Structure 1
């Protein structure tokens, strides 16, 4: 473990003061005579003998003074020995550190032209006592990029700029000039600066109008790009579209009435269920699609006074909110969610037509999951 620096307030070894160049400081030994004089007068005399021991005199004798002198001389000898050990230790450390550094330098091949700071061998830790325990050294600066790499980067940039179409370069220049003109006119709104920016803005509007008109001509000549063929916007086309949609709705509802039922999950204490029940009952009578009411609490509604009790259908479908409406096919046991909450009759028709007829995209159809009610027949 390396020794701490002299500036830190830690426990230093015995020989630290010798290495630091100052005289060792020790607490003087307590003199037996002084300790006896410091005792109160009533404590002088002979100590009370314990059982099995001889009484001892408190007054100092010749034997006591001789023992103290011998103790002092022994401590002085040990202090001198510690000084010698400290000097030998530091000499051996410095010698070993120097030999290790010289061997490392001789074993590592050095190039011919090397910076003098780079070839400097690191100092041993024990020789850097002025650094202390906590320090931070800045990392070596990264080498600057060579001129070759800069030239290559410039060449790549110029090649990429040359590979762009001339229209892209024209647009980038126009955009940069317009931004510059706007900033100049904003902070220095003189007539000349504002007029310069207005010129750029007018040119941009004309370019956008030209682009929009050309795009419209392309749509006119190519009906596959014209969305008004599917959803007309004019009066004549919109009337034909409505007639077509009405025919599709009528055919879809007639097909559903023959082989499908509507699962209606509700609770007798739900106000939304009471509001939606008349709408659903009227829709069922108008389209002929049978409604299968399922009560989660066993109670009924005025429109459905004798509902079926839940026998696991709600858990199988994951019903957590009421009212809930599902379209089921009893022959295939497939169930599809129609909606939750109160729905109008128009919403019911639109959703049932969209679910019952495949769309143009498979992703749209996959967005409506189809579940199974195997074993839960209505």
Structure 2
């Protein structure tokens, strides 16, 4: 009988012992030893509100922008006299601030030339613009004259094309002035007064996807590289500008093509 009572009591004692055992008993981390002190984890630093970090000017601007957005929405959805007037007052306040900023920016640009946008790039002053264009024209002419030793200009045309007849004198004059050799290529076998002995099309027009004439391409025979300059009737200044600009550009940008066979002379 005593043995039965002891047997029944053992499970109860085990359950009570398990309930009283802490979640992390000391023997599971005996490496700490009996006498240890572990400081509690420090709480994460309290971040200051973003509002406190922003400058008063930034806060004022954000409030003004929010007010403009709010009053505009109200005025649009309920356009009463008071609502529209309030929105216009906020807009006027913003315009006055922008005007004051613009005035100060002008003065800063005057006293700090490196910040003056009118002194870099294309001038705004008429006299300065004239000098700028003259210098630009001279630089472009020098570039094209340098290209004359290594490049040629392919001129695609048709003998029955009135635009080709109108453009041909400009191309011929361009060749004489800058020394850039022009290679005339006739797509229909016809000739032009300024180019009486053109070369025939050997398939180069299809390779370059020439679908309209007149068309001009800049080519470097030594490498076979050829890039489009323009289609249609162009002025001499347009030819000069495009050749000078495109000659220094990336071939991928100018859609340059490498040719293996150039048109043969007649």
Give the TM-score normalised by the residue count of structure 1.
0.49
Contact 2:204 2:263 in 1 (8 A): no
Say which of 273, 284, 293 aligns to 2:164.
273
Matched, 1:231 2:122: yes
Q: State the distance in 1 between where 2:70 and 2:262 align.
A: 72
Name 1:173's counterpart in structure 2: 63
Q: State the distance in 1 between where 2:161 and 2:96 align.
A: 60
Matched, 1:210 2:96: no
Q: How does 1:146-161 map to 2 (within 5 A)?
A: none
Name 2:186's counterpart in structure 1: 295
Quote the offset at 1:301 in angstroms. Answer: 2.2
Q: Report SS of the residue matched to 1:263.
A: strand
Name 1:325's counterpart in structure 2: 216
Contact 2:113 2:119 in 1 (8 A): no
> Rg: which structure is higher?
1
| CA-to-aligned-CA distance 1:13-57 (integer Å, 9 cap, x gap) | xxxxxxxxxxxxxxxxxxxxxxxxxxxxxxxxxxxxxxxxxxxxx
Matched, 1:258 2:149: yes
Q: State the distance in 1 between where 2:124 and 2:75 align.
A: 45
| CA-to-aligned-CA distance 1:160-194 (integer Å, 9 cap, x gap) | 8648835554334323433554545973325xx66
The count of corresponding residues between Structure 1 and Structure 2 is 214
| CA-to-aligned-CA distance 1:188-227 (integer Å, 9 cap, x gap) | 325xx66644432332111111222344455452616735
Q: How does 1:16-165 map to 2 (within 5 A)?
A: 162=51, 165=54
RMSD (Å), alpha carbons:
3.2
Contact 1:330 1:377 in 2 (8 A): no
| CA-to-aligned-CA distance 1:279-334 (integer Å, 9 cap, x gap) | 22222223222211111222222322221111122123222222111111222222
Q: Report SS of the residue matched to 2:228.
A: strand
Q: Report SS of the residue matched to 1:336.
A: strand
Matched, 1:368 2:254: yes
Contact 2:123 2:132 in 1 (8 A): yes
Q: Report SS of the residue matched to 2:183.
A: strand
Q: Report SS of the residue matched to 1:280.
A: helix
Q: Report SS of the residue matched to 1:342.
A: coil
Contact 1:265 1:293 in 2 (8 A): yes
Evaluate the alpha carbon distance shift between residue 169 and residue 301 of structure 1 in structure 2; reply closer, same or farther with a 3 A threshold. Answer: same
Evaluate the alpha carbon distance shift between residue 194 and residue 297 of structure 1 in structure 2; reply closer, same or farther with a 3 A threshold. Answer: closer
Name 1:309's counterpart in structure 2: 200
Give the TM-score normalised by the residue count of structure 2.
0.67
Name 1:156's counterpart in structure 2: none
Q: State the distance in 1 between where 2:163 and 2:53 align.
A: 62
Quote the offset at 1:251 in angstroms. Answer: 1.2
